[in-house]
Amino acid sequence: MIIDTHTHLDNQKFIDDIDEVIKRAKEVGVEKFIIPAADPSDLNRAIKLSEKYNNIYFAVGVHPVDIEKYDDKLLLDYITHPKCVAVGEIGLDYHWVKDKDKQKKQIELFHRQINIAKEFNKPIIVHIREATADSYEIIKSHPEIRGVFHCFNAAHQLLDFSDRFYYGIGGVITFKNARKLVEVFPEIPKDKVIIETDSPYLTPHPYRGKRNEPYYTILVRDKIAELWDVSKEDVEEITTKNARRLFNI
């Protein structure tokens, strides 16, 4: 069994064939799906999917590139929903956001959403892009918070939080230019690795350029099995147990 811990099934690219996407995934053993909040305008669709399918869950939060859409209400109205398992994806993105004032606003709202997660005892799903140093300091300042580094960027310093954070591994680990991640990956404790796709983005090799979907978690699983030198079944057992522990599903 595999849990896709980060899949944007609420994305417009899945509107026409969501049932088929879920069916294909289940045929290869993907049994549960978590939809992280990204664009607030898609949140209602994520909630409706979680209510339609008993194996779909969602998270609430505002992505750092969408800070102008932030409203506490987005979190507080849905964080107690029975299918809400986390706050995220939240964090810092200095790749797409270069303006210093907007970066400061990202930091402010990262703290704010972490505090809401703590209040409701939810883990966080963290997005970090070209902002590792500031993200590190923020996580360090909240020693009670737990969560996952989505699309783990292979930054060694983030391994300092392996006592309370997990590391999301997706299609990037199969890329030919993912040398740094492949080198760092063995340093992640096995009990802190979870599988994700970030679909419809970051499709694993050899299907890069096509729409990603939860079905392709099997390619991530296979690469992890190779790097750990264990069976595919062992990878499924370990990562599923980890995901269940983090998200309480």
Q: Which residues are annotated as a binding site for a divalent metal cation?
A: 6, 8, 89, 127, 150, 198
Task: Please state, in angstroms and as integers, the Cα–Cα distance from residue 223 to each residue in 6, 46, 95, 174, 218, following that order.
Answer: 18, 29, 28, 7, 9
Task: Please state, in angstroms and as integers, the Cα–Cα distance from residue 119 to each residue in 108, 123, 156, 243, following that order.
Answer: 17, 11, 29, 21
Residues 6+ apart with CB under 8 A from 115: 142
Instruction: Report d(CA 249, CA 240) in Å as an integer.
Output: 10
Helix (H) or strand (E) run with residue 33 in it: strand 30-35
Collapse the DSSP code of 153 into the 3-class scheme (helix H, G, I; strand E, B; otherwise coil) and give the result.
coil
Return the DSSP state at 41: G
Instruction: Report d(CA 189, CA 172) in Å as an integer.
Output: 19
Q: Which residues are annotated as a binding site?
A: 6, 8, 89, 127, 150, 198
- Whether 243 and 236 have beta carbons less than 8 Å apart is answered as no
Return the DSSP state at 122: -
Instruction: Report d(CA 195, CA 167) in Å as an integer.
Output: 8
| Unique residue bearing structure tokens 């194996």 | 55
